Each structure stands twice: as C-alpha cells, then as structure tokens.
Amino acid sequence: MASETIVVTGASRGLGRAMARGFAARGHTVLGCGRSADDMRGLASELGAPHDFRPVDVATDAVDGWAGDLIDRHGAPDRVINNAALINRVADLWKVPPEEFARLLAVNVEGVYRVTRAFLPAMIERGRGVIVNFSSGWGRSTGPGVAPYCATKFAVEGLTGALAQELPPGLAAIAFSPGVIHTDMLRTVWGDGAGAHPTADEWAKRSVPFLLELGAKDNGGSLSL
C-alpha cells in the first residue's frame, strides 16, 4: 500500500495513541491531536518527522487553524479518524450534572463535526478520502449508567449515515465500533473487569490493517471489528 497521510484525533492515549503508532510503523504519516500538550510532545519525540502531533481540543475553534496548517503542509489527508471521545461517570441520567452532559456532546459529537468540516472540503476537492467516525456498541444498543455516552454515539451513527449520503463519488464516511478494549475509559465503567479485554496495543494489531482497507466501497457502513 502506498504511504498515506492520516489524521487521528484523541491521540494522547488509549486507542488513538495505539493507532498512531500502528499507522506510523506501516510507513504512513500521522497527523494527530490530543488535549495533553505533554502527551503530544512525547508522541512527537517518539515517532519523529514527518509525523505531527499538537495539543488541540476538538470541541473548540482551534480545530480550524490546526487543520488549515496541516493541509497547507501535507495536503488533503487520505483518512481522518475521529477517535476523540469522553465517557460520563457512571450515574443515572438525572444525576449527571448538566456541565458533564454538555462536555460529552461537545467532544463526542461537535468534535466530529468540527474536524470533518475542517478537513473534508480539501478531500472533496482532491476527489478521494475516507472519514472514520468512532462509534461504540453503545451507539447501537444501550446500558444503564451511560445514557449521555449512548446519546453521543447514537448521534455519531446518524451523523455519519447522513454524511455518507451527501458525499460525492470517491469518498466515504464510515461509522466504526472498535469493540471492547482495556482502556482508561473502560475502567471508568467496568473497573477491574476491564482487564479481561485486549489492551489498546493488542487491539491496534488487528484494527490498523482493517482501517487501512476501508475505502469508497464502504461508504455509509456501520462496521465493527
């Protein structure tokens, strides 16, 4: 496979960091963001040039400047992986503080919109590209204690399906449920039980080749690993 330019949000830790390493190890250029400046510096130091990692909150206007600079430097990306997400502290819906609910919506839904809006026009102009929006099993079913998270991931599924219908030929928007992985996010819900599942690095060995195979033929898909 020819070398690609791949944008990965939420690259500070967990699945995002594991994907960044996995894509880079296969010869692709990774342009990542995360909220932690220290984590972004560390990943930039680890992987080196031409990879580019910057502290960006996907729920803010900073996305536009970040994307514009990357497009100027690297051209339109071949793939955009909208991975950045938060989960709420486990609680009944009526006990979730409004500011916590709003923050999940801002990152998990508005963040996907902002990043897509910033990169997609350049991808359309070039005539090809794939956007993968990370969903969840809780974007297709529900569970107690995580209603805000479920709401955001159901929204990602709907947003992605509608976007797929709007795209011109040659491009794809795909919703992707990564499965159950031992991450900090999973531990907030399942505690020690999270340890029974694959680590992010183990998961990336399967997921990175899978994600690299996605193309225009998969437009509108709601896929799982």
Per-residue pLDDT for 181 more than 90? Answer: no
Residue 219, amino acid = N
Q: What is the CATH number of the domain that holds 16?
A: 3.40.50.720
pLDDT, residue 225, reads 84
Contact residues for 124 (Cβ-Cβ < 8 A; gap 6+): 167, 168, 171
Percent of the chain with pLDDT over 90: 88
**113 given a catalytic annotation:** no
Question: How many domains does the chain divide into?
Answer: 1
As a whole number of angstroms, the distance between CA 4 and CA 186 comes to 30
Contact residues for 139 (Cβ-Cβ < 8 A; gap 6+): 150, 152, 153, 154, 156, 157, 175, 177
User: For the segment 151-180, what is each residue's pLDDT rounded down to a tens digit?
Assistant: 999 999 999 999 999 999 999 999 999 987
Percent of the chain with pLDDT over 70: 93
Q: Flag the least confident range among 51-60, 91-100, 200-209.
A: 200-209
The residue annotated as part of the active site, out of 23, 66, 138, 149, is 149
Q: Which pTM does this prediction carry?
A: 0.93
Cβ-based burial of 124 (10 A; exposed 0-12, middle 13-18, buried ≥19): middle
Determine the structural domain holding residue 174 and report its residue range.
Answer: 5-224
As a whole number of angstroms, the distance between CA 119 and CA 133 comes to 13
